[in-house]
A and B are shown apart, each in its own frame.
Chain A
Amino acid sequence: MNVFLKVALLCSLSVYAWGSEEKLDKVVVEKDLPSIERGAEALMNSCHSCHSLKYIKYRDLIAFGISKQKVDGWRGEQPLDTPLMAQMSEADAEQAFSTKPPDLSLMTKARDGDENYLYSYLLAYYTTAEGVVSNHIFPTTKMPDPLGMSGSPDAAQHAVIEGQARDIVSFLSWAADPHEAERLQLGKYIIGYLLVLTALFYLVKKQIWARLK
């Protein structure tokens, strides 16, 4: 039986290993408001000109706790109920990059590797010997290097860029699953309740079955 288990385990491990063809950097996704607010700011500066977040509205940002002043700055004259559409029209973007910049609302859930993929991708820009900017993770990407990794940053700049990438990932992780915190909280209560209920069922079962014999 042990052998069987090992075989099964090996199979499942190889399934898992297959998921990440490229070696992805692991990112710690921060869930706190300051990180997410910084990420929103970085995204508005670096990504929002081409990429939309059509499932997020300005009111959602305020409801989450991002400062109203900042959100008002971003939305300008647009009503609070407007989704975060890209500043550039889709047609213009397609002409400029010969591809449609994807919507970012679900980006951290839409790639193998989730947040790690996005983080690694943002940091994977480099300049080849021929002076062409390319990307290790996604070599055929049409997106220009948003954070400046290809400009051979020094250690201090590097750390800043990594921080920005982490913040952006944190924000997008929230945007992809805005009810996550609520879900984890509720989950704890539900499982606590079920443990109590199951323990009670167990005791009742033991007593009822004791009637036999």
Chain B
Amino acid sequence: MEHENPSGGNRRNFLIQLTSVVGGAGVAAACVPLVSSMNPSSDVLAKAETEVDLTGIPPGGMHTVAWQGKPVFVLHRTPEQIKESQASNGVIDPEADAKRAKNPEWLVVLGVCTHMGCVPNKEGPGWVCHCHGSVYDDSGRVTHGPAPRNLEVPPYHFLSENKLVIGKA
């Protein structure tokens, strides 16, 4: 076998390096569709927003709706509940009620306990999580541990007086 010195020739080295880079970029780009195919598909993404009709919820009543597969509590608060909620800022994770409810009449919170992810029950004023005994008030603020934070407020906006869209602020 008659070989030339394989390291000889700048042009060849450059050509091989260029080809390696171009080929490597192609292999990397080919991974994009594979990785991307594991992301939520368009029909799952379509569930990113949920429309809620509010006409059926009487004052004091609550509906649980699914948003991205998670429960969201929509509470129609009575004037007493509003008053009580606005009176304090909570103890463990202080936050004003005005910050948590765009329209004081409607409280929209994610029904997932901030402690271990259980779904709290509506009991008395507010919610009680039976997994580990956390208690939340009618603004979704934690009043009794072990939950560290208040119930999360998802992004939402009112489409009309009786139409709520969860998923987009």
B51 at the interface (CB under 8 A from A): yes
Chain A contacts of B26 at CB under 8 A? 193, 197
Which of A14-22, A103-111, A119-127, A199-207 forms part of the interface with chain B? A199-207
Which residues of B (1-51) have their CB < 8 Å from a CB of A?
1-4, 6, 9, 12, 15-16, 18-19, 22-23, 26, 43, 46-47, 51
A81 to B46, CA, bound (A): 7
Which residues of A (91-138) have their CB < 8 Å from a CB of B?
none
With contact pairs A203-B15, A212-B2 given, residues A197 and B22 touching in the complex (Cβ less than 8 Å): yes
With contact pairs A79-B51, A197-B23, A200-B18 given, residues A213 and B2 touching in the complex (Cβ less than 8 Å): yes
Selected contact of B22 from candidates A57, A79, A200, A212, CB within 8 Å = A200
* Chain B: interface size category: 10 to 19
A155 at the interface (CB under 8 A from B): no
With contact pairs A81-B47, A200-B15 given, residues A211 and B4 touching in the complex (Cβ less than 8 Å): yes
With contact pairs A81-B46, A193-B26, A200-B22 given, residues A211 and B15 touching in the complex (Cβ less than 8 Å): no
Do B2 and A207 touch across chains, with their CB atoms under 8 A apart?
no
Q: How far is the CB of B22 from chain A (nearest CB, A)?
A: 6
A197 to B9, CA, bound (A): 21
A204 to B22, CA, bound (A): 13
Do B47 and A204 touch across chains, with their CB atoms under 8 A apart?
no
Q: Find the B residue at minimum CB distance from A189.
A: B29
For the A-B complex, the count of residue pairs with Cβ-Cβ distances under 8 Å equals: 38
Chain B contacts of A212 at CB under 8 A? 1-3
A59 at the interface (CB under 8 A from B): yes
Do B19 and A204 touch across chains, with their CB atoms under 8 A apart?
yes
Do B51 and A207 touch across chains, with their CB atoms under 8 A apart?
no
A196 at the interface (CB under 8 A from B): yes
Q: How far is the CB of B18 from chain A (nearest CB, A)?
A: 7
Selected contact of A204 from candidates B4, B15, B43, CB within 8 Å = B15
A79 to B46, CA, bound (A): 11
Q: Find the A residue at minimum CB distance from B9.
A: A207
A81 to B45, CA, bound (A): 11
Q: Find the A residue at minimum CB distance from B3.
A: A211
Q: Find the B residue at minimum CB distance from A194.
A: B26
A59 to B44, CA, bound (A): 13
Chain A contacts of B3 at CB under 8 A? 211-212
A57-68 vs B, Cβ < 8 Å mask (1 yes, 0 no): 101000000000
Q: How far is the CB of A78 from chain B (nearest CB, A)?
A: 12
